[in-house]
Amino acid sequence: MSILVVCSCKAVYSQKKPVCPKCGSPKKERGTRYQVVIREGGRGTRKHTRFANTLAEAKEAEQRIRNQLSNNINPRAARKGITVGEIFRRYIMLAQHPNADEYKTSWKKDEQRWRDYLAASFDNRRLDAICRQDILDFLTALEKRQSRVGKPLAPATRRHALHLMQRLYNWAREQNIYTGYNPTAKVAVTVINDVGRVLQPVEIQAFLTGLASLGAEGRPLVDRMCALGLLFALLTGRRLGEICTLRRDKANQEDEEATFWDEKNNKWLTVPISPESLAIIQQADMIGLKDADLVFHREEGKGIYNQMEYRWEKLRDTIGLSGFRIHDFRHTFATWTKRKIGLLASMGLTGHTTITNARRYEHTDDDVLRRGVAAVAERAGLRNGAQDDKQTS
């Protein structure tokens, strides 16, 4: 039996017995208490004990302990206050299971964020021992940290870490593991995504001239591959990581399409690419290693992620594109394709899943906006087409 009777004489006995075997007092006599004893397994395994004043309270305590054990939670730790680390380990186990409600295809990123940013500060901290100021201090400390390449952590990185903490608290409440105060409820990290630039027509020639110099015949293989990769970034709108991990067997010359690993949504994305993009892949095959798996690679057959960033940072200052990021080629691609085929159709090329995200990558020139407001005046009969052309020329 998991629930025992504790007599006023301190004797402990089974509920099956009508009276105390030591003093003969009945079970319902004043001063009688109940002891809950539950083992994790069979005889000899660790047991968990609780005391209650009534049989109803004892049954409630028994059910609570059994629920905690079924959820792989140590009842002793829960009694003292369950830690964030215990909640994370239970949550991430379910996040990996395809049949669980918590299943996420990006669970590895949550695991990485926990390991890199959260574990050191919160692994052994009790959920009820963390206050709002602790969360704010943690975010401030993250702001001062540097990434693996020596750069300050991006605001989006800090926001991802905060969101994981918020998810853990919310999940613990949903599972009735924790019912206390949530210190992450009113904390937010502001991320400004409207910082992209679009390559202007007057800048294109300087860009192409710079690439021709970087990828000239006789230059090292890594330089020529970087030049091809940069032009490929403009023509396809793919992210740097997606370009540098593009495999040769994922480029379909016959159907004029390529399959990239969408690093944001953790899935394969097949999109049509132009004949000019296919020509870049063919040129990379011609000058590259015959046994390399990647389209764009260096002498050892490895990727050129860091090499592309380094060479572009040096090249852009010499061609008048200071501050223009490789990711801005994606902004340029999204803007140009949207003007030609519309926003929804362009989302099929960029891989954006929401209109809100897609709009961040579309930049409308001032002259386009002026033509829009001028069209209203023209439709109202207050302006003719010639006047409009003269004003916008």
Per-residue pLDDT at 69 = 77
Count of domains observed in the chain:
4
Q: Above 70 in pLDDT, residue 366? A: no
Q: Which of 3, 80, 72 is nearest to 40 (CA)?
A: 72
DSSP H or E run through 269: strand 267-272
| Segment of 25-34, 52-61, 307-316, 341-350 carrying the highest mean pLDDT | 307-316
Overall average pLDDT of the 179-194 stretch: 82
CA–CA dist 167, 86 (Å, integer):
14
CATH number of the domain within which 255 lies: 1.10.443.10
pLDDT-derived band at 390 (thresholds 50, 70, 90) equals very low
**Looking at the domain assignment, is residue 181 inside a domain?**
no
pLDDT-derived band at 315 (thresholds 50, 70, 90) equals very high
Per-residue pLDDT at 393 = 42
Q: Which of 161, 185, 162 is nearest to 173 (CA)?
A: 185
- pLDDT, tens digit, 9 for 90 and up, residues 71-116: 666 676 666 678 999 999 999 999 999 888 888 877 888 999 999 9
Helices 221-236 and 328-341 sit at what angle, rounded to 10 degrees?
Answer: 30
Q: Which domain holds residue 44?
A: 3-70
Number of residues that this document lists for the chain = 393
Per-residue pLDDT at 156 = 87
CA–CA dist 44, 46 (Å, integer):
7
Helices 366-379 and 385-392 sit at what angle, rounded to 10 degrees?
Answer: 160
- Chain center to CA of 66: 34
Helices 201-214 and 305-318 sit at what angle, rounded to 10 degrees?
Answer: 120
Average pLDDT, the chain: 86
**Looking at the domain assignment, is residue 93 inside a domain?**
yes
Among 153-157, 255-259, 328-332, whose mean pLDDT is lowest? Answer: 153-157
Residues 209 and 344 in one domain: yes
Residues 49 and 99 in one domain: no
Q: Above 60 in pLDDT, residue 388? A: no
- pLDDT, tens digit, 9 for 90 and up, residues 191-246: 766 568 889 888 999 999 999 999 999 999 999 999 999 999 999 999 999 999 99
**Looking at the domain assignment, is residue 188 inside a domain?**
no
Per-residue pLDDT at 40 = 82
Per-residue pLDDT at 312 = 96
**Looking at the domain assignment, is residue 311 inside a domain?**
yes
pLDDT-derived band at 385 (thresholds 50, 70, 90) equals low
The CA-atom distances, in angstroms, between 262 and each of 127, 201, 383 are 35, 29, 48
Residues 158 and 258 in one domain: no
Token pair listed for 128: 């009820």
Percentage of residues in the chain having pLDDT higher than 70 = 88
61 close to 50: Cβ distance less than 8 angstroms: yes
- The DSSP call for residue 54 is S
Q: Above 90 in pLDDT, residue 165? A: yes
Residues 221 and 265 in one domain: yes
Residues 208 and 343 in one domain: yes
Overall average pLDDT of the 249-257 stretch: 91
Overall average pLDDT of the 282-298 stretch: 95
Residues 266 and 341 in one domain: yes
Among 15-19, 82-86, 124-128, 363-367, whose mean pLDDT is lowest? Answer: 363-367
Per-residue pLDDT at 24 = 86
Which residue has better confidence, 283 or 54?
A: 283
Q: Above 70 in pLDDT, residue 11? A: yes
**Looking at the domain assignment, is residue 75 inside a domain?**
no
